[in-house]
Structures are given as structure tokens and as C-alpha cells.
Amino acid sequence: MSRIPAPPAKASAPGRPKDLGKGAAILEAAKRMFITHGFDGVSMDQIAAEASVSKLTVYSHFGDKETLFAAAVKSHCELALPDALFAELPDMPLRERLLEIARAFFTMISAPAAIAGHRILCSPQMANSQLPQMFWEAGPKRIQSAFAELLVRRVDAGELDVSDPALASAQFFALLKGEPHAQLVFGCCAIREDGIEPHLAAAVDMFLRAYATR
């Protein structure tokens, strides 16, 4: 007598999808708490309370505090410098394009939240942690990579002569920071609002003198 074949095993049901609204609330709460109290001064319990969710929900979305901090940095950078900012826009003159990016970048790094985050990462407590590397991957590396791709497109268009786009990208953002950003981080003097545009224009012009096609 032939055997009746057993029915196929059911695939395991996927886990419950994460609530995007709760994830966003956790991120915003984390940004506020980290800026106000620093990384070590904030617990996951406090972030959960600030976001009006359970601690289990926070861990479910982000795993640990270090990952949440990196996600908060990434969120801040993507909000200030979205991918659309590095779109090709071939019809926009190169200098104008670079100035547009320069203004957005300096606005982001000079915001009180960004200055507070920079100071957290420079504190002695961060010296032996993975946070600086996580910050670099989530923030500066993403921005520099996106800008390097834009440079490649402008090289292909014959407007730039850049042999190492990654190096040129790093140099561009270092020029934009310059002395004004260091003064903000040290808190040693106020930055005149009418001095920012000349600083950014000078940085862009220096970059173009180095890399614009002759």
C-alpha cells in the first residue's frame, strides 16, 4: 500500500514588521538626549521614556546604544545633506554647484547639535570606544563618497582634472571647515554671519584653482 505523502512544511512566519513611526520617535529622542547629556550621560531607559516607547522597543529597533548613536548621526547628516544635494545637475555651473553644497555642509556642521556631537566624540571617554569609527562611517564617509561621485561626473564632463576623487573630496570638506569650525568647537569666539559666505567662496575658489581644467 502506497504511502500518502506528507504535506510540505510551512515556512516560518516572518517576525512582526518594525513600526517606522516608533523608530523615528526613538531617533529624535536619542538626538535630543545625546546632545543634552552626552553619550555616557544617557541610558536606553531614558531614551525609551523620552520617545514614549518601551526599552524592549528601543533594543528591537537599534540593538544597542552605540548603534543608536550611529543611526542618530546618520539621520542628522541625511536630513541636512540628502542624497538629492549630490545629484548631477549638469546644467548648473560648477562653481555655483560647489557653493550650494558648501553652504549646506557648513550649515550642518555649525549647528549647535553638530558641535555638541563633535565635542562628545573628542572627549576622553571616547578614546577607546568604537563610536568615533561608527560616526565616521555614518557621517563624513557617506558625504565624502557622494561628493566624490559628483566629482567623477564633472571630470567626465571635462570640467575638472581630478586623478584621485576620494582625496579631492576629503580636501574640499576640510577647506570648508577651516578655522571657523575650529573656533565653534573650541567656543573661543563668535563667528560673524557675514564672514561665512566669503570663507566658503574662498574655499571653493581654492579648490577650483587646484582641480578645474585649464
User: The CATH number of the domain where 33 resides is what?
Assistant: 1.10.10.60
pLDDT score for 17: 52
Residue where a domain terminates, one of 9, 28, 63: 63
Boundaries of domain holding 102: 77-211
Q: Do residues 45 and 83 share a domain? A: no
DSSP 53-77: S-HHHHHHHHSSHHHHHHHHHHHHH
Provide the residue-wise pLDDT of the chain in tens; the chain has 214 residues: 444 444 444 443 344 456 788 999 999 999 889 888 878 889 999 999 999 999 999 999 999 998 898 888 888 788 888 888 898 888 999 999 999 999 999 999 998 888 887 887 777 777 777 878 888 887 889 899 999 999 999 999 999 999 999 999 999 999 999 999 999 988 887 778 788 999 999 999 999 999 999 8
Q: What is the pTM of this model?
A: 0.78
Helices (H) and strands (E) in the chain, counts: 10, 0
Final residue of a domain: which of 12, 32, 63?
63
> What integer pLDDT is reported at residue 45 of this predicted model?
95
Range 14-40 burial, b when 16+ CB lie within 10 A, else e = eeeeeeeebbebbbebbbbbbbeebbe
Q: Is residue 40 one of the residues assigned to a domain?
A: yes
| Contact call for residues 66 and 134 (beta carbons, < 8 A) | yes
- Residue 80 has a pLDDT of 80
Q: Does one domain contain both 142 and 105?
A: yes
Same domain, 100 and 48: no
Contact criterion met (CB below 8 Å) for 212 and 159? yes
- What is the per-residue pLDDT for 3? 46
- Rounded to whole angstroms, how far apart are CA atoms 119 and 50? 23
